[in-house]
Every structure is written in C-alpha cells, then in structure tokens.
Amino acid sequence: MAAHTIKLAVAVTCTLLLAAACSGLEVGYYKKSCPRVETIVREEVKKFVYKNAGIGAGLIRLLFHDCFVEGCDGSVLLDPTPANPAPEKLSPPNFPSLRGFEVIDAAKDAVEKACPGVVSCADIVAFAARDAAYFLSRMRVKINMPAGRFDGRHSNSSDALDNLPPPFFNVTELVDIFATKGLDAEDMVVLSGAHTVGRSHCSSFVPDRLAVASDIDGGFAGLLRRRCPANPTTAHDPTVNQDVVTPNAFDNQYYKNVIAHKVLFTSDAALLTSPATAKMVSDNANIPGWWEDRFKKAFVKMAAVDVKNGYQGEIRKNCRVVN
C-alpha cells in the first residue's frame, strides 16, 4: 500500500510539473560534457535562417513531426536503407514538404568536431527548432530548451500517417490526437500558431477549402485560386504562404487570420468551431505577449513527448543512419 501511495504521489507530481522534468530532461544538460553545444547549433541555424526564412519554419515543423511519431528521438531524420526502405521522412505528411535536414547535418558536424559522440541528434533538432523560433520572432520568443534525449533506432512511414494530424481534421479530432501525446486543448491551439510561418502545397487545402463550400474569406479564396490549380497533382502542386500578412515573422498574426477566415487548412478554421478554442484564438490574437508566453511552455512540453533513455536509444554519429 505504501509503495502504491508513493507511485501515485510521483504521478501526480509529474502532472503538475513540466513534462521535461519528469522525462529526465534538464536545461543545461551538456554544460559539462559539451558546454558550447547550444551556441554551436544556434550559429548554424542563424546562417541558414538569415538566408531563407522558410528553413526556419521547416525546423519548427521538423521538431513537431519528430515528436509526434515515436517521440522526440530524431527518427524523422533517418534515411531509407535496404533494410528499411520506407522511413518516416518518406511518408506523405513529410515528403517532399519537410525541410531543414541540411541544417541538422551542418549542426551535427560542427558539434561532433567539438564534442564527438556526446550530443544526440534529437537534442540538436530541439535546439534548432528553438533557435528558429528565436530568430523568426526577432528575438522575442526565448525558450530554455531542456536536453538529454537519445536517438531512436526505429522509423517507419506508416507511423507518421497514424500519428500526425492531417490538415482536414476537425477540432474534436485535433484535441483527441494531441491528448494522445499528453498535450491539452490549449497546447494544441498555441502550437497551431506556428502556422504563422512557412508554406503549404496547394494539395493540402484545395480539395476541402476551395473545391467545396467552406467558410474561407471570398477575397482570400480568389487569391489562392489564382495561385493554385483546381486539381493539384504531384507534377503541378505549387506552394503558398500560410500567413499572407507577415509570412516570415513568428508572431500572433495567425490568430488574426483565423478570425478573419483567411487560413489555409480546415484544421485552422476548426479552432473557431468550439467556444473554448475560439476564446483561446481571440486571446492569442488580441492580448499582447499572450501567445508568445504560452508558446514557450507548450513548445517545451511537446519537445518532451515520449523521449527515450539510454537503454532505448543511442547517440548517433550520423543523424541520417543508426550506429
């Protein structure tokens, strides 16, 4: 009975603390083993993001797509091999749209020169996403990112299909799939704000937003129809900015776009269909600093989803292949 009480107390404590604390992650994890790692990663990210803001958006999305499939373990980085010809990165939600792999490679190479065999690729993905948000927000979104993740050895394209929310989900489906990752409705709404940067292929929204009746603003729909074919194909599938107002700024404009019905996805528009999530959208749109403060917490929480320990994972020498 006493042991059961202790276990219950620990479980309750973990629900009250940051997920990172209960997953063994900690801020400054490499302060002794590789003290310059976060500076090294940030320098590499800066080089790429300042040349192309879209790479920054890709890095933020890369962490999300990593963490929702097999946990935050760098499994999305693994290349196909004869033994595993269909890893996560080749799954339809990821290929060909997922970006930022070359940044992770460059950061890993630089880190390995300073501290060989110490820093996981999973942690580099988390640091890089954090840094992308920092630069795209013009240094307003400052996140203390805990580390201590290990790299996974399993990566399968079907897992990405099963775990990543598609752009046509309604609000109930969104809340449910985020709940499977230990994230609540507010986390879902706050993390959706990352759609304030980046681009989307027309095929991701034309069928259910333009080809049929929807709540999309008429003028915005006309703009999209001028840029997208009526029937996008693999050979002809252009991309458009997700936020046409401030496309390269990591800010709260996304929520203003949701309210104005000027968003691409059904899953974006769905945030207005529940009174609870609609109130969150309004707060994020109208209260200065509200979204940024909540994004920092939700981002760290997401970056702690199902992390692996040393028995379950490894420290890859090359982020694209298991050791």
Domain-wise residue ranges, the chain = 25-164, 171-301
**Residue 252 dihedral angles phi and psi, to the nearest 5°:** -90, 15
Tell me if 66 is assigned to a ligand binding site: yes
Q: Distance between CA atoms of 312 and 70, rounded to whole angstroms? A: 11
Tell me if 69 is assigned to a ligand binding site: yes
Q: Distance between CA atoms of 256 and 285, rounded to whole angstroms? A: 5
Nearest residue to 88 (alpha-carbon basis) of 179, 164, 176, 177: 164
| pLDDT at res. 275 | 98
Q: 184: left (phi > 0), else alpha (psi -120 to 50), else beta?
A: beta
| pLDDT at res. 19 | 57
CATH number (2.60.120.380, 1.10.520.10, 3.40.50.720, 3.40.80.10) of 25-164 reads 1.10.520.10
Superfamily of domain 171-301: Peroxidase, domain 2 (1.10.420.10)
pTM of the model: 0.93
**Residue 211 dihedral angles phi and psi, to the nearest 5°:** -80, -15
- What are the residue numbers of the active site? 65
Q: Distance between CA atoms of 34 and 38, rounded to whole angstroms? A: 9
| pLDDT at res. 5 | 38
Q: Distance between CA atoms of 290 and 233, rounded to whole angstroms? A: 39
Q: Do domains 25-164 and 171-301 have the same CATH topology?
A: no
The CA R_g of the chain, rounded to the nearest whole Å, is: 20
Q: What is the mean pLDDT of each run of 10 residues along the chain (323 residues)?
A: 39 47 86 98 98 98 98 98 97 96 98 98 98 97 98 97 97 98 98 98 97 97 97 96 97 98 98 98 98 98 95 96 97
Q: Which two tokens stand for residue 138?
A: 């013009």
Q: Distance between CA atoms of 286 and 255, rounded to whole angstroms? A: 9
Tell me if 196 is assigned to a ligand binding site: yes
